[in-house]
Amino acid sequence: MSITSGMMSSNKQDGETPPEFMQALKQSFDLDVCAYKDTAKAPIFFTEQDNAFKQQWVGKCWMNPPYGKAIPKWLERAYKESQQAYCTSVTCLIPARTDTAWFHDFAVKGTIVLLRGRISFLQNGLAVGSPAFPSMLVIYDKQQLPKILTWAWKVK
């Protein structure tokens, strides 16, 4: 194992978005498409057993997908669902990896919000620290043209 092996990926794929980030976002969501019962960010949610890829995404959706090789699949689905009449928007919290194919193939179709400051994800309700990479939001919404924004979400 090299000294940099953990810098671009994470062994844990199920980090919970911390409540303070959701509060700073000042958004409410109808559906969390990648949730656990105890960590859902919306009143309706899909767990791994529900398989979001076999479901219809309805209303205003939140997505903090498992980080890793499946991100392109999640982003492609988020974009496609956001274009349906029954889906208002999909807000995706993902790693800020602007050099990847999935960024150029899918993320650029939405509004990209580059986050200033790292997010300390939770495991079992406890902060496990920030990942070694920055995060961003990608918001797919039929009403908006793609653009790039920045957000200093941690007010100091």
- Residue 98's domain comprises 19-151
What's 66's domain CATH number?
3.40.50
Backbone φ/ψ region at 41: left (φ over 0), alpha (ψ -120 to 50), beta: alpha
pLDDT of 6 above 80: no
Q: What is the pLDDT of residues 112-149, one digit of tens each?
A: 999 998 888 888 877 777 778 899 999 999 887 788 88
What's the rounded mean pLDDT across residues 88-107? 96
> Do 103 and 50 touch, CB atoms closer than 8 A?
no
Contacts of 84 (CB under 8 A, 6+ apart): 56, 57
With respect to residue 94, please indicate whether it lies within any of the assigned structural domains.
yes
pLDDT tens, residue by residue, 15-51: 789 899 999 999 999 999 999 998 999 999 999 999 9
pLDDT at 13: 57
Alpha helix segments (H runs only) across 37-128: 71-82, 101-105
Q: What is the pLDDT of residues 44-89, one digit of tens each?
A: 999 999 999 999 999 999 999 998 899 999 999 999 999 999 999 9
Q: Is 28 a domain residue?
A: yes
Q: How many domains does the chain have?
A: 1
Residue 8 clears pLDDT 50, i.e. is over it: no
- Is residue 45 a part of any domain in this protein? yes
132's tokens: 């070694």
SS3 state of residue 155: coil
